[in-house]
Structure 1
Amino acid sequence: MNTMWKLFTGDIKRLTSNVVSIIIVIGLVMIPGLFTWFNVAACWDPFSNMKNLKFAVANVDEGYRSDLIPMKVTVGDQVVNALRANSQLDWTITSKADAVEGARSGKYYAAIVIPKSFSKDMMTFFSDDVQHAELTYYRNEKKNALAPNLLNEGTDEVAAEINTTFAKTITSAGLEIASSLADQLSKPEAKEQLNTFNANIADFATRLDDTADLLGTYSALTDTAGALLDTSNSLITQVSSAAKQGGKDLASAKQGVTDVVGALGTTADAMSSALDASASSFGAVSDSIDKLYSDANDGATTAADELDRQATAIGKQTEKYTEIRNTLAGILGNDSSIITAIDRSIARQNRLRQALNTAATDIRQGNQDAQDQHAQVKDLSDQAQNSIANIKSDFTATVKPQIDSLSSTVSDASGILSSGATQLDSTLGDLKRTSDDASDMLSDARTTLDKVSGKLRSAGAELASFNSTLSDALNSGDMSMVKEVLGNDPETLASTLAAPVQLRRKAVFPVANFGSSMAPFYTLLPLWVGALLMVVTLKTTVSRRTRKALGDPRPHRLFLGHYGVFALIALLQSTVSLGGDLLFLRVQAVHPLLFMLSGWLASLVFSFFTYTMVVSFGNVGKAIGVLMLIVQISGANAAYPVQMLPDFIAKVSPFLPLTHAVTMMRAAIAGIYDMDYWRAAGMLLAFVPPLLLLGLLLRKPLVRFNQWYVAKVESTKVLG
């Protein structure tokens, strides 16, 4: 230890032994500080001077006028007016030709041209074919490296100003229209018109409900017609056993089921078919009378039973006709001709049913009395058939024209009955098939009618609700409330709506200025340069005469003792440089003492690194120091975040001393979080043990390499 101290004090005496060496030492101490102060001062607050950058704006917007907004909208003019009041950049309002040429010549750093169709394109916001309004941005990327990127902020400012102005203009126009409308609604004549309109809405809602009720009635009529078809089919089956398969006479009715008109048409056609089938069934009864009375001679009981069954079937038809009569009476009234015809038919059917029952009884009691009533029964059957034909005629003339002007006519479903038994069976079979198809059609028609009726009722309910709301608004005077909400100053409200969100910035670990943010980079990097200057200017070896004067101490003592002068100069460098930051430049430092400590520690590690490399590798060590300087300029996370840089730089960054020194100084400037300052200090000191290992142990095997290297260099007579 005594030897190392003597070597250190001797080096100090030798450095201060003459004026030249003192000047050299002063230069070594001051150069890092000058480097730091000049660069920190230069970047202290460059963004506040962006107003000196010329930014050209050329507006050739022709504006837009439409019926939607009762005013001419020229967004370009409004943007230019807003930029004139903006001092962030040196906005120069000029012509398009001058703006473009100025950007090319370097007169302007950048230029923006607002095109002729700008307002028109922006107003397509309200149409189906939206066109994005575009600005043309010219920037001179040759004039300066950073200016084009900095001026992107100016471009964003223009775009933001345009968006805000557009929103403000449209909102202001809309609010002025709404305010005018509120004023108009406050007038008595406007309220009277609204009351009339509200009354019409109520009347229309009532009519919708009535229409829904009418469709419901027709839906019920389809049920009755279906039941009549069922009883007619039953009667036909009893008359002839040949009626086993369904026909196709009413297949055309299927076309109208899918809509309201088709459904009502299906109802009318099916009703007509039902009447035809009913008439045919009575015709079949008439035709079968002769056969039944003839068969009564052979088997009275069988004939009487058949007459009873026919009487029962006719009774069921009579009930269905009664239901049809009541339904149509609700629509047409009791005075309608078709109601009178149905009443006559029901009376004749009742007489026929009674006659059939009487005939059956007489046949059981004695065939001669029954034969006397043969003509009467047949005549009643014919009368019933004719009365149903009259009902069909009245139905076609009276009811059918009222069902939404049907586009098709009723098909004649009645067949011609032949006198022969085979022809009778075939005709009755066709009638049964027709009745089956008509039953299916009626079911579809009822479904459609019920669905449409439900929709009409729903629409009526919504209109009634709207009618009630509008009545309440008119009675309570809501128009004045609307006017109060809109206010008397649409412009102020439009400005608020155009920019409803205000950004509140709250810095975490705030830094007062850009110069303080860049201080770690521009302070620590010169300290590395100062360490390189020391190993270039000062000798890293101890002269033979000094070694003899000290008694030829061991190499490790020479290594550590001679480093003392390097450490002293390094501490002087960091003290001067960081002291100037705090005292003269007023760099922000939440922890000033830790700020100084970070510089002292960094300068010692940097100088020990370069000293060890040069002692171990000679001139190659100097090259290693320069190489580390190059890598650390970008890779130390001092200027650009390593996440923005190529991947290999991010991987190298943790192994660079400057990375951890920067972290220490940033914590001292803005504040410590979770012991980050001390962890970075530990990582920085972690470089010392490997350097000691190299300088004290691994350096010995490299002595011969260094001797060979020096000999080769000196042999050139050029390099030294």
Structure 2
Amino acid sequence: MKNIFKIFIRDLKSVLKNWVALIIILGLIVLPSLYAWFNIRASWDPYGNTGGIKVAIVNNDKGGNLQDKFISIGDELVEKLRENTSLGWQFVSEEEGNIGVERGKYYATIIIPEEFTEETLSIVNRPIKRPILIYKVNEKSNAIAPKITDKGVTTIKSQVDSNIIETVDGVIFKILNEAGVSLEGSKDKILKLMNGIISLNERIPEIENIINEAADGSLKAEGLVEKAKENLPLLDETLSSSDSLLVDTKNALEKSKGALKEVAPVVKSDLELVNRELNNLEGIINSLINTTIDKNAIINGLDNISIKFGEINSKINSVLKALEPLSKFNENIKEIVNDLNLASSKINSAIDIIGNIQSEINNAKPIDKTKLQEIKTLIESNKSIINNILNNYDSTYIPAINNAIDELTNISDNSIKLIGEAREAIPDINSLLDTLDKALNLGMEDIEKLRNEMPTIKSSLGEISRKLSTINNEGEIDKLLSLLKNDWEAVSEFLASPVEIEEEILFSIPNYGSAMSPFYSTLALWVGSLILVSLLTTEPHGFKEKIKFKPYEKYFGKLLTFGVIGMCQTIILTLGDLYLLKCYVLNKWLFIGVSILSSIIFIIIVYTLVSIFGNVGKALAVILLVIQVAGAGGTFPVEVMPSFFKKVNPLLPFTYAISAMREAVAGIVKENLTRDILMLLSYGVIFIIIGLFLKGPINKASKKFIEKLNESGLIGH
């Protein structure tokens, strides 16, 4: 043990006394850190700078017509892309786009053909034809850029799909809305006319008596007939002006029935997403209440909760948009709407509390845990509301939604049918009233003729009156108008994208550079150990007295020197990651500790190889580096690699060093961290045993071989 420390202390004194050696050692300490820092910084946010990747957009779309409305989906798409900064969109002619992508000026060109809108609108005009976007990509220009542009064209396709649905449904629901507005203005006239016709039918027996008494000169029916004739032009005017509108309304309702039937399952899916998010938020707020976390972590946690609250509120509002039109027809649906409005109000209150807490933190005030508890109470209250809705959804609310939709559909169908029949009957009613009017001034012969025709008149008028009486009250008319009058933009937007993907990220890392820091830091530590064995000797030299060191003394004596330098390398590296680059690391002390452990293990492995095998050991260390860079899963998932790397992955020290650092960076899974540390320690134990038992015999056996090799003058120490 004494000789071991003698070797180490001699090396330490040599460094401190020799300024050249000191500069070299300092360089060796800093150099691996530079290697890691430059790579981490270069990859900090590569996908956040994709605005410089130029993609040409060629819009040849000529547009098309839907219900006398001109639409150009190509122009709408271009307008949306002008606001999109995810890629460097370039709006050019087709010739320039084709030449540009061929010569590498653009990474890709997307062409919107002339018939794009026409093919899109074939969904309502028949026969249906799928619209096509032409995508040209130059894969020679860069290995990664085509993958990014592929994502861009997928995004465009998604926007186009949404635009198609929103545009077509938007026209349908706009027609319905216009019909409702038009009919609402004539509601009083329609009610007055309906009442007049029904009243006339009810007094037919009286009119028959009047006709029978006509021979006696009775004129009692004259005033009644005149009133009916006064109201008849009102009906003719209203229904004639609404003729084409009624046809469009009926067609629109038929097209929208299927979409309305999808409301119930979509609403349930949205509520289940809200419930899951509330459960996640409850876990986050509990961690903030029950643990001691630094100020920045509190702020980040509250920011995350506030963002999630906004997303939940948006989801609740989309459900309310879908249900509020139906709530007028069903008490159970009205109950859901009231509960969701209450939940939205509680979320807004929680967001206000978060704002107050953040303001207090910014003003250096202590964190008030009671306010965090208030947020937790609001979350629990909302969970109770949503769970109550979901527990009763299938048994109570789905039938209620379907019944309300069926009622709306029946009301609209019957109303449109009856109003249509009423208009068809206007000529008959007009003729009937003229006949009655003339009859009052006819002689006995004509009165007798009228009396014979009265059964037919009575039957026709009775049938019309019976049909009109089914909707002859203001409540039924209001239901019809409520169905027709809608926020057509909101409804079409909802149906264009009824389901959203609520992303749930475990162990979130805010940027790509921080996510890559475990790999580049691990790589730098191995490179640091390689540099040490390349420049520093693994054999003890420079002792004035001749000491015959035993192999294990040489081994551990120099290992201490390499280990201390390696620890210095690691401390500089990790502190730079944390405070110079400001990498996101959730557990800083664990990150530093795991890095030091990894460095020591790498030093043991590389030093042992070189100490035993000399220059051959250096070559082995380089080979190990190459295999580990490819096979440790530091960049690409090991599952996508060739079978060789899949097999060697569990055997590589890099695999466990990178994994342990990731636990420190993003969040600890105890089982994973324990496995990684035990595996790293096992590598250290194995190579120390190899060094103890093989250094002496192999050094002795290879002495003549090394001397002969050195005679060539090509190989150093």
The TM-score normalised by the length of structure 2 is 0.59
Letter aligned with residue 118 of structure 1: F
Is 1:490 the counterpart of 2:488 in the alignment? yes
Match of 1:396 in 2: none
Match of 2:48 in 1: 48
**What's the offset of the Cα at 1:11?**
1.1
1:43–1:514 CA contact under 8 A, matched in 2: yes
Q: Give the secondary structure class of the aligned counterpart of 1:55.
A: strand
In 2 relative to 1, CA 76–478 (structure 1 residues): closer, same or farther, beyond 3 Å?
farther
Match of 2:24 in 1: 24
Is 1:622 the counterpart of 2:618 in the alignment? yes
1:664–1:681 CA contact under 8 A, matched in 2: yes
Name the CA distance, whole Å, in 2 between partners of 1:705 and 1:510. Answer: 54
Match of 1:181 in 2: 179
Matches within 5 A, 1:648-667: 648-667=644-663
Name the CA distance, whole Å, in 2 between partners of 1:639 and 1:674. Answer: 23
In 2 relative to 1, CA 563–488 (structure 1 residues): closer, same or farther, beyond 3 Å?
same
Matches within 5 A, 1:632-711: 632-703=628-699, 705-711=701-707
Tell me which of 503, 506, 525 is aligned to 2:504.
506
Letter aligned with residue 511 of structure 1: I
1:182–1:479 CA contact under 8 A, matched in 2: no
Is 1:119 the counterpart of 2:117 in the alignment? yes
Name the CA distance, whole Å, in 2 between partners of 1:529 and 1:101. Answer: 45
Name the CA distance, whole Å, in 2 between partners of 1:666 and 1:530. Answer: 20
Q: Give the secondary structure class of the aligned counterpart of 2:55.
A: strand
Match of 2:590 in 1: 594
How many aligned positions are there? 451
In 2 relative to 1, CA 718–673 (structure 1 residues): closer, same or farther, beyond 3 Å?
closer
Name the CA distance, whole Å, in 1 between partners of 2:192 and 2:523. Answer: 84
Name the CA distance, whole Å, in 2 between partners of 1:194 and 1:550. Answer: 125
Matches within 5 A, 1:192-591: 472-473=470-471, 475=473, 477-485=475-483, 487=485, 489-543=487-541, 546=543, 549=545, 551-591=547-587
Letter aligned with residue 691 of structure 1: F
Match of 1:84 in 2: 82
**What's the offset of the Cα at 1:590?**
1.4
In 2 relative to 1, CA 482–92 (structure 1 residues): closer, same or farther, beyond 3 Å?
farther
Structure 1 unmatched ranges of 5 or more: 199-461
In 2 relative to 1, CA 550–118 (structure 1 residues): closer, same or farther, beyond 3 Å?
farther
Matches within 5 A, 1:4-23: 4-23=4-23
State the Cα deviation string for residues 676-697 of structure 1 (Å, max 9, x = none): 2232111111101220221111
**What's the offset of the Cα at 1:102?**
1.3
Name the CA distance, whole Å, in 1 between partners of 2:473 and 2:562. Answer: 95
Name the CA distance, whole Å, in 2 between partners of 1:691 and 1:647. Answer: 27
Match of 2:107 in 1: 109
1:532–1:625 CA contact under 8 A, matched in 2: yes
- Aligned-pair identity in percent equals 32
Letter aligned with residue 504 of structure 2: K
State the Cα deviation string for residues 221-272 of structure 1 (Å, max 9, x = none): xxxxxxxxxxxxxxxxxxxxxxxxxxxxxxxxxxxxxxxxxxxxxxxxxxxx
Letter aligned with residue 117 of structure 1: E
**What's the offset of the Cα at 1:568?**
0.7
Match of 2:243 in 1: none
In 2 relative to 1, CA 533–193 (structure 1 residues): closer, same or farther, beyond 3 Å?
farther
Name the CA distance, whole Å, in 2 between partners of 1:578 and 1:506. Answer: 30
State the Cα deviation string for residues 333-375 of structure 1 (Å, max 9, x = none): xxxxxxxxxxxxxxxxxxxxxxxxxxxxxxxxxxxxxxxxxxx
* Structure 1 range deviating more: 69-78 or 695-704: 695-704
Letter aligned with residue 512 of structure 1: P
Name the CA distance, whole Å, in 1 between partners of 2:587 and 2:634. Answer: 19
State the Cα deviation string for residues 524-577 of structure 1 (Å, max 9, x = none): 10110010011110011223x63x837313211111111111001100100000
**What's the offset of the Cα at 1:80?**
0.5
State the Cα deviation string for residues 41-94 of structure 1 (Å, max 9, x = none): 22222222222222211100112235xx33222111110111111222222211
2:191–2:474 CA contact under 8 A, matched in 1: no
State the Cα deviation string for residues 440-465 of structure 1 (Å, max 9, x = none): xxxxxxxxxxxxxxxxxxxxxx99xx
Letter aligned with residue 45 of structure 1: D
Name the CA distance, whole Å, in 2 between partners of 1:34 and 1:173. Answer: 61
In 2 relative to 1, CA 620–78 (structure 1 residues): closer, same or farther, beyond 3 Å?
same
Name the CA distance, whole Å, in 1 between partners of 2:503 and 2:150. Answer: 21
Q: Give the secondary structure class of the aligned counterpart of 1:480.
A: helix
State the Cα deviation string for residues 567-613 of structure 1 (Å, max 9, x = none): 01100100000011111111112111111001100110111110000
Match of 1:357 in 2: none
Name the CA distance, whole Å, in 1 between partners of 2:647 and 2:467. Answer: 70
1:618–1:706 CA contact under 8 A, matched in 2: no
**What's the offset of the Cα at 1:110?**
2.0
State the Cα deviation string for residues 308-352 of structure 1 (Å, max 9, x = none): xxxxxxxxxxxxxxxxxxxxxxxxxxxxxxxxxxxxxxxxxxxxx
Name the CA distance, whole Å, in 2 between partners of 1:572 and 1:180. Answer: 77
In 2 relative to 1, CA 617–537 (structure 1 residues): closer, same or farther, beyond 3 Å?
same
Match of 1:256 in 2: none
Name the CA distance, whole Å, in 2 between partners of 1:102 and 1:709. Answer: 62
Name the CA distance, whole Å, in 2 between partners of 1:473 and 1:636. Answer: 75
Q: Give the secondary structure class of the aligned counterpart of 2:525.
A: helix
In 2 relative to 1, CA 715–72 (structure 1 residues): closer, same or farther, beyond 3 Å?
same
Name the CA distance, whole Å, in 1 between partners of 2:587 and 2:467. Answer: 68
1:185–1:191 CA contact under 8 A, matched in 2: no
State the Cα deviation string for residues 132-190 of structure 1 (Å, max 9, x = none): 22211122222222221122222122112211211111111011122233345555798
2:551–2:695 CA contact under 8 A, matched in 1: no
Q: Give the secondary structure class of the aligned counterpart of 2:624.
A: helix
**What's the offset of the Cα at 1:475?**
4.9
In 2 relative to 1, CA 539–719 (structure 1 residues): closer, same or farther, beyond 3 Å?
closer
* Structure 1 range deviating more: 576-585 or 468-477: 468-477
Q: Give the secondary structure class of the aligned counterpart of 1:138.
A: strand
Name the CA distance, whole Å, in 2 between partners of 1:474 and 1:705. Answer: 112
Letter aligned with residue 62 of structure 2: E
In 2 relative to 1, CA 718–61 (structure 1 residues): closer, same or farther, beyond 3 Å?
same
* RMSD (Å), alpha carbons: 3.0
State the Cα deviation string for residues 627-649 of structure 1 (Å, max 9, x = none): 11111112212211112222321
Name the CA distance, whole Å, in 1 between partners of 2:586 and 2:472. Answer: 66
Q: Give the secondary structure class of the aligned counterpart of 1:4.
A: helix
Match of 2:165 in 1: 167
Name the CA distance, whole Å, in 2 between partners of 1:125 and 1:619. Answer: 73
Name the CA distance, whole Å, in 1 between partners of 2:484 and 2:171. Answer: 12
Which is higher, the Rg of structure 1 or of structure 2? 1
2:121–2:168 CA contact under 8 A, matched in 1: no
**What's the offset of the Cα at 1:24?**
1.1
Letter aligned with residue 684 of structure 2: V
Letter aligned with residue 2 of structure 2: N
In 2 relative to 1, CA 556–484 (structure 1 residues): closer, same or farther, beyond 3 Å?
same
Name the CA distance, whole Å, in 2 between partners of 1:495 and 1:541. Answer: 76
In 2 relative to 1, CA 470–635 (structure 1 residues): closer, same or farther, beyond 3 Å?
farther
1:15–1:22 CA contact under 8 A, matched in 2: yes
Match of 2:389 in 1: none
The TM-score normalised by the length of structure 1 is 0.58
Tell me which of 93, 98, 110 is aligned to 1:95.
93
Q: Give the secondary structure class of the aligned counterpart of 2:581.
A: coil
